[in-house]
Structures are given as C-alpha cells and as structure tokens.
Amino acid sequence: MTAGLTIDQLAEKHSATLDTALDVIRTRAYWSPHPEHPKAYGPDQDGGLDAAAGQAAFDALRDRRFELDQPGTDGWTGSEVSPYGPRLGIEYPHADLSVLLPAMRSAMRPWRDAGPRHRALVCLEILKRISARTHEMAHAVMHTSGQAFMMAFQAGGPHAQDRGLEAVAYAYAAQAEAERTAEWVKPQGKRDPLKLAKEFTAVPRGIALVIGCNTFPTWNGYPGLFASLATGNPVLVKPHPRAVLPLALTVRVAREVLREAGFSPDLVALAAERDGEGIAKSLAVHPDVRIIDYTGSTAFGDWLETNARQAQVFTEKAGVNTVVLDSTDDYKGMLSNLAFSLSLYSGQMCTTPQNLLIPRGGIGTDAGHKTYDEVVADLAEAVGKLLGDDARANALLGAIVNDQVKERIEAAGRLGEVALASRAVANPDFPDATVRTPVIVKLDGAKPDAEAAYFSECFGPVSFAVAVDSTAEAVELLRRTVREKGAMTVGAYTASAEAERLIEEACLEECAQLSLNLTGGVYVNQTAAFSDYHGSGGNPAANAALCDAAFVASRFRTVEVRRQA
C-alpha cells in the first residue's frame, strides 16, 4: 500500500458534505454539491477537466482497450456503437468469474472493519473524482444512451452523482442509527444487577450485482452501487452491452480511490460481457451474489424477483405513466410544460408521460373551455413549436437509442388517429444519428381495442391522448393503470379542489408519485435527489424507491457480540 488517503484526510475533505447530505435527506430541501453548469468544471478542481479536456479524455478512450487491472481477465470484449453513429471501438476486460468473485469476497473483511463512516468517506471521494471528470462522462453517456450532450452532462453527471451521494447518506444513517457498543445493566432488586458488554457490527451481505441499463447507465446505476458499497459489500457492475463506458469509467475511479485509501480495488469490478453471453442470468443466481440492483424490462425484473432467491433484489421495471387533464388556470403553461416532458430525450425516460387522459367533453381553462380535439391539437402545436428549430430539437431530443424504439414510432400511426406525426430531424454533427420528434395518437378510451395500445408500455416518443367520459373516469383508469401496469410518475392538471382530492387519493392508495399543475421549469419526468423519491416501490413499476431507508436497510445486517461484563 502507498501512504495514500487516510481517514483523517477523507474526513477533512468530505465530512461537511456528508453532514449536509444527512440533513437534506431529512428536510427534503433543495441541495446539490455537484454543479449543473459545464463551465463550473475545470482545472481549479483537483483532477478537474474542462470542456476541452473532457472531450480530449473521451477521444483518448476510443479505439483501444480500457484497462482496469482486475484479477481474472480472460479476454477482451466490447461492441458499443453510439446512437449518434460512430463505433466507439473500446474493448473491456472480460472477467473469469471463478477468479474475480473470490477476489472480491476476499476484499470484504477490511472494508467491513473500516466501519460505516470510513466507508462513507471513501464513497464520497469516489464521487468527487467522478464529478471532476464530468465532461468526459458526459460524452460517454451521450454516446451510449443517445442523450443530447447537455442532458448527458447533467443527468449522467451531477444528477447521477447526487443520487449516489444520497444513497451513501442513507446507508450511513441506517448503519449509524444505533450505538456500536452498549453497557447493558439490568436491575435485579436487592441482588447485583445483570451486566453485559455489547458490541454491534454492521456486516455486509456479500457480493452486490448492479445490472445497468442502456438509457441511464450512471443515474440508474449509482444508487445501488453506492448503497451496497457504503454498507460494506463488494460491487460487481454488469453494464448493458450498449452502455459499458460510463460504468467502466466509474469502476476505474472507484478502484483507484479504494487502492489509495488502503483497501482492495476489487471491492468494485466490472463484468463486461460478450455478445449474447447473457451473464446477468447466471450471476443473478450465483450463491455469492447477495444483492441485485436492476433497471430494465419487466420480464427480466420479474424473473430476478422470482428466481434470485439468495439475494435482496431491487428492481425498476416498465410502467405506464399517466397525466390526468381535468382543468387548468394556466393553459399555455400546461401545454408548454407537457410538450417539453414528451420531447425530452425523445420520451426515452422511465418517467415520461405516456397516457394523457382528457375528458371527451373538454376541459375548463383560463383561456376558455377547450374541447378534447382542441386540447390535443394545441398540445401537438406546442410540441411542434418547441421542436420547430432543428438545432433546438437536436439539443432536446438526443438520438433514438435502438431500433425497437424506432419501430415503435413507426408503428404508432397504425394505433389510432395521429394528432402529431413524428418528424425525422437531421443532426449536422452526426449524420448517422436517428433523431425523431414525438408522435401523439388519439384514442377513444371507451373502445376496447384502444386499450390494447394504451394499457401497456410503449417505450419511446409515443403518447396517447385518451378520450375519457369524465375526470372521475380518468381517475378510475389512472388507478387501474397504476395497479396493474405500474407507474414511475403521475401528473395531473386541475383547478378543481374536488378533482385534486380524487387524484391525490388515487395516488396515495395506488402508491404513485404525483406532480400537480406543473407549468414552469420543473417537469414530471424529473426528480431531484435528496428531495424527490424516484418511484414509490409500491406499484408494479418498481419494487424500490430512490432513495429511502428501505433501499439500504437490508443491504447489511447487524451482528451483536455480547459478553458478561
């Protein structure tokens, strides 16, 4: 070991950040130590990269092997192609798990013995160094997820880092909630009291597996990664084969920090897979794997929950997000807010609204009564205007992440009357990128064949303007959708206290997170770490919320040793 990072140095650097994080997860106030603005990053920070240096660092990664110095590398693999066109040309170590998993297990004990605070501080150092390289990460996220640069920068950088830090804070709080030692003295009347000396140790479960997704490799990956690591578990990161780089960069930084802090770097490792290898399925039932975090399809999420019986399984799966339109006193604000929500990252977010439930008889607004057709047409127009300029459209939409999404856009027109057709947008910087504006399809909720369309997730920039008889019927459909299909988000617009009460009650009973009357610069598809819960863990879209005590509490156990005193 080198002299390295001592716990005192780490405490000096990160104690205040940890304390603030612990405070804000209680107050739920706005806070972030990770700036959103690209210009905030640069050489003033320790290891900081500015825009040019970040671009150069990303370019230097291309067309070569990505070294990680992991035990048990038995080959190299990688076939990432940017949704913007270019083949990344990066190869990652392929792991011989019969060597790597034992190495990870043997790294556990000193990490356990370090205790919750030391672990939290090391995690904060990892996040700090990831933060310094946010420009590089932004390119990595952009060219794997297809997010536009600014979104890749923010969601893949500071917002993901915030979620990681939030998980560290929860993990630390859960492990620190009781004292580590106790003198237990029980009176016995006139006899001597009974006395025991007790010690309590937070112990890890075992190897934690993070199964990454294509669209938000860091944002969806960091909560599980940091929650498990901070609770003492080694973490094996199995990235999506099309989005390896952002998590490989993360693993590299984590290994570097762990080594400098005197721990084994094998506490965090990468499991990149060969084409079609499907190692998630075998890893998920491996006896050494005791925690799994997964973001992806409902089919595989359900499979994990059913079959990975030896592990604590945290899943985020598909859902059908609904917005109820009852009435509004800011019609323009509602339209522009919704238009943005439908457009951002081409609707390829687990939080993008899909079904817009609109009373057939129209809605009351500050601009007068609007019929169903008018609302839909006005929304289509708002989206059209928002994306009318190609440069702006590119900056908002990003690229279509895969062919399935493209096919869904093309198929959407056959599902009903098209209120807004999808338009192909040229990207002058990346001519091979597939860029598409959203499609809005009108459906009659009363027609049984319409349900086949709107009652399942249609991932991508496809939304359905579903005509319903009344707000009450909309709320019933909302309830049924959340209960049977799940939802990461629910939105609603209403100026009626009675309708608001109905919608709120539906969300409380069906366990869905509700955004009411958003007309400004906050969108239903965005949640902020430390304040907003991402998912509820109480409906079929996800069995966990980011982040709450339940997300961390079962990642460790407490072992007590008591001695006669």
Residue from 517, 525, 529, 546 in contact with a copy of itself (CB under 8 A): 517
Which of 56/561 has CB closer to a copy of itself? Answer: 561
Q: Closest by alpha carbon to 535, among 219, 240, 276?
A: 219
Q: Please tell me whether residue 497 binds a copy of itself under the rule CB under 8 A.
A: no
Compare residues 76 and 200 and give the one whose CB is closer to a copy of itself.
200
Kindly state whether residue 560 participates in binding a copy of itself, applying the rule CB under 8 A: yes
Single out the residue of 373, 374, 469, 548 in contact with a copy of itself (rule: CB under 8 A): 548
Closest distance between a copy of itself and the C-beta of residue 495, in Å? 12
What are φ and ψ of residue 439, in 5° steps? Answer: -110, 135
Residue 6 neighbours by CB distance under 10 Å: 12
Question: What part of residues 202-241 is at the interface with a copy of itself (CB under 8 A)?
Answer: 203, 205
List the one residue from 26, 64, 447, 480 that touches a copy of itself (CB under 8 A). Answer: 26
Which CB sits closer to a copy of itself, 2 or 188? 188
- Please tell me the distance from the alpha carbon of residue 422 to that of residue 274, in angstroms, as a whole number: 35
What sign for the dihedral angle of Cα 279, 280, 281, 286? positive
Position 277 contacts a copy of itself (CB under 8 A): no
Residue number, 471 or 494, with CB nearest to a copy of itself: 494
**Under rule CB under 8 A, residue 184 binds a copy of itself:** yes
Taking a C-beta distance cutoff of 8 angstroms, is the pair 131, 34 a contact? yes
* Among the residue ranges 87-95, 193-201, 260-268, 467-475, the one whose residues contact a copy of itself (CB under 8 A): 193-201
What residues from 139 to 178 belong to the interface with a copy of itself (CB under 8 A)? 173-174, 177-178
Closer residue to a copy of itself, CB minimum distance, 183 or 275:
183
- Tell whether residue 541 is a contact of a copy of itself (CB under 8 A): no
Q: Is 519 in the site for a copy of itself (CB under 8 A)?
A: yes
Counting every residue written for the chain, the total comes to 565
Least CB distance from residue 66 to a copy of itself, whole Å? 33
**Residue from 52, 196, 391, 411 binding a copy of itself (CB under 8 A):** 196
Q: With CB under 8 A as the contact rule, which of the stretches 120-128, 427-435, 470-478, 529-537 interacts with a copy of itself?
A: 529-537
Residue numbers 84-123 binding a copy of itself by CB under 8 A: 109, 112
| 64 near a copy of itself, judged by CB under 8 A | no
Please give the order of strands across the beta sheet that includes 207-211: 268-270, 235-238, 207-211, 289-295, 312-316
Q: Report the C-alpha gap between 153 and 391 in whole angstroms.
A: 18
- Closest CB to a copy of itself among 85 and 333? 333
Residue matched to tokens 């156990």 = 557
For strands 92-95 and 462-468, give the pairing.
unpaired
- Residue from 165, 271, 518, 541 touching a copy of itself (CB under 8 A): that is 518
Q: Is 279 left (phi over 0), alpha (psi -120 to 50) or beta?
A: alpha
Which secondary structure element, helix H or strand E, spans residue 359, and what is its range?
strand 355-359
3-state helix, strand, coil in the chain (%, to 5): 45, 20, 35
Q: 469 with 403: CB under 8 angstroms? A: no
Alpha carbons within 13 angstroms on the beta-carbon side of residue 434 total 19
What are the residue ranges of helices labelled H in 352-402? 372-386, 390-397
Bond from prior residue into 213 cis (ω within 30 degrees of 0): no
Residue 532 in contact with a copy of itself, rule: CB under 8 A = yes
For residues 2 and 260, give the distance between their C-alpha atoms in angstroms, rounded to a whole number. Answer: 7
Q: Which of 313, 297, 414 is nearest to 350 (CA)?
A: 297
Over the window 293 to 312, marking each residue x when it contacts a copy of itself by CB under 8 A and - when it does not, the resulting string is ------------xx--x---
Where does this chain bind a copy of itself (CB under 8 A)?
A: 25-30, 109, 112, 173-174, 177-179, 182-188, 194, 196, 198, 200-201, 203, 205, 305-306, 309, 504, 507-509, 511-522, 528, 531-533, 536-538, 545, 548-550, 553-554, 557-564
